[in-house]
Structure 1
Amino acid sequence: MKAYFVRKAADREVVGLFVAASTPALASLVDECCDPAECEYAPASAGGLMVAGSTAVRWPVPGESGETGLEEAVFTQQWDDDLRGVGGDLDWKPLAPAAARMLRTLGRRGG
């Protein structure tokens, strides 16, 4: 599994941070919120999201709670540097080829 930063290619709007086994799997996850063919991705280096203070939320989150426990989360220093351009430029690549592979795979499965 790898972690990826994803943004919209046209205006660089943040789409999210995803963990996936492959870029077609990444395209499938991105498809839950927007058209992956309009996005680009950059592999994330070692890093994470952390909750710097205490939270009342526990995992697993019970029932229909709208909270995740990550509302006040911040990036680790490496990810913060990467996304601010401090630690060097990320290598952004179009997600469209992976989205096309995902659709071909779904077509073969009848999907």
Structure 2
Amino acid sequence: MKAYAVRLAESHEPVGLFVVEHPSDLRYLVDEFCATQGMEYLRIGAGGLFFSKTDARWPCPADVETDDFISPPFDSLTESWMYVVDQEGGWKPMPYL
């Protein structure tokens, strides 16, 4: 499995971080929430992300509807991932359905 960062191609707004076997599989994960047109991806190596202190829990508490449960946004990427995603080269157009 490999990790990928996905962003909007025009604005460079981050969409998410995904782990898939092959880049073509990204379209299925991203398509769960939004159309993949106009997006691009970049393979990223070892690294991670940090979450703010929050009341959110994984797994979702039993008394919360899972459709209403939203994970907290992350505060920061590790330096290794920040360095990679800040580079202009290497981003590829996202395959779309």
Return the TM-score normalized by structure 1. Answer: 0.64
The one-letter code matched in structure 1 to 2:5 is F
Question: Unmatched 5+ residue regions in structure 1?
Answer: 104-111
Return the TM-score normalized by structure 2. Answer: 0.71
Q: Does 1:31 align with 2:31?
A: yes
Q: Choose between structure 1 and 2 for higher RCO, CA contacts under 8 A separated by at least 6 residues.
A: 2
Shift of 1:11: 2.2
Checking the alignment, whether the CA contact within 8 Å between 1:37 and 1:95 is kept in structure 2 is: yes
How many residue pairs match? The answer is 93
Aligned match of 1:81: 83
CA–CA separation in structure 2 for the residues paired with 1:79 and 1:16: 13
Q: Secondary structure at the match of 2:15?
A: strand
Shift of 1:10: 2.4
> Percent identity, aligned pairs only?
39
Higher helix proportion (structure 1 or 2): 1
Higher strand proportion (structure 1 or 2): 2
